[in-house]
Amino acid sequence: MKFKIDATTQGSAARAGEITTDHGTIPTPIFMPVGTVGSVKGVHMRELREDIDAKIILGNTYHLYLRPGLDVIRGAGGLHKFNSWDRPILTDSGGFQVFSLSSNRKLKEEGAYFRSHIDGSKHLFTPEGVVDIQRTIGSDIMMALDECPPGTSDYNYARKSLDLTHRWLKRGWKRYQETEGLYGYSQAYFPIVQGCVYPDLRRESAKFISDLGADGNAIGGLAVGEPTEKMYEMIEVVNEILPEDRPRYLMGVGTPANILEAIDRGVDMMDCVMPTRNGRNGMLFTSNGIMNMRNRKWADDYSELDPDGTAWVDHEYSKAYVRHLFVSQELLAMQIASIHNLAFYLKLVKDARAHILSGDFAEWKKEMVERVTRRL
């Protein structure tokens, strides 16, 4: 994997760059649609490529390991062939899912013991095993196994959690260096900065991770219950230390405003289930604000969903029609909303990149944050 910075901009830490993988080039900043079980909910791969123009999508180690299982994925020749996606894929290590989905889990030095949320069966994720699983899945970017403590964790818990994450990282990094991909292309491995909301722990973790010299680095453990301003503060603390010549991936964030603020602070990659999950529940993000499509006010509004945007559905469906679909509980409503929201998110980061290149990102971002946070 290679990364180059194309431009920076005055009055901001934002930068425009390019990540090159064996499955294609990713312009940054970039938003990555979440395809947890090998699919982005309600969206065909053709739509992801042609309508949304997603440059990279996510898969999840926890879910894919449990179902369909590694034998099926390896038999297909890796996840790219299994789900017919020919562009880059990033896989989360599954650590967050172990901690958030499993009702019965135990953290030990050797790894994380957990029960499947599907059938209650017992499993163990080790730092080495998670590397091996992601080798089998065949993602272009693999993530290290870490513990993601709640944003409200006290200092003592955050300290112990960080120490465990760093010990796991040493083992995972060693396994990564000792192994190779199974399908004839290279795989990068990103360590994850943790430390909760404590600046000294975040700095320590960023330094520890920077010293590894990995192809890229991730910032985890944010947007997990801490105040938004604290999240922004931690991003700034971490990005003062993480190397400038490697991509920075902020995990699991967030709203359009969160994304713009993260880019402003030097983040290159982001992902979140919000565009599809909220879309399925009737929330649409637009260039002029947020709409609840079940509201009566849209019942006879025949205008486009986002007249000032370029999402593919804008010129096909009116607000009134999409509201009708939601009220009627039609599956098409969820599909339209998911594609619209993803198209909006991808357009947002594409526009951010254009304004970084033109040098006026700071002014544009200030205006856009005000616009995208309105409730329509």
The set of catalytic residues is: 92, 271
96 Cα distance to chain centroid: 12
Q: What are phi and psi of 14, to 5 degrees?
A: -65, 145
Instruction: Give the neighbor-by-neighbor strand order of the sheet with 24-28.
Output: 2-8, 15-21, 24-28
Q: Tell me the C-alpha distance between 324 and 199, whole Å.
A: 48
The letter for the amino acid at 337 is A
Q: Tell me the C-alpha distance between 119 and 22, whole Å.
A: 36
Instruction: Catalogue the E-assigned strands of the chain.
Output: 2-8, 15-21, 24-28, 30-32, 57-60, 89-92, 105-107, 112-115, 122-125, 141-143, 188-190, 192-193, 217-219, 248-250, 269-271, 283-286, 289-292
Give 278-284 contacts, CB < 8 A, sequence gap 24+.
278/341, 279/334, 279/337, 279/338, 279/340, 279/341, 280/41, 280/42, 280/334, 280/337, 280/338, 282/326, 282/333, 282/337, 283/337, 283/341, 284/322, 284/337, 284/340, 284/341
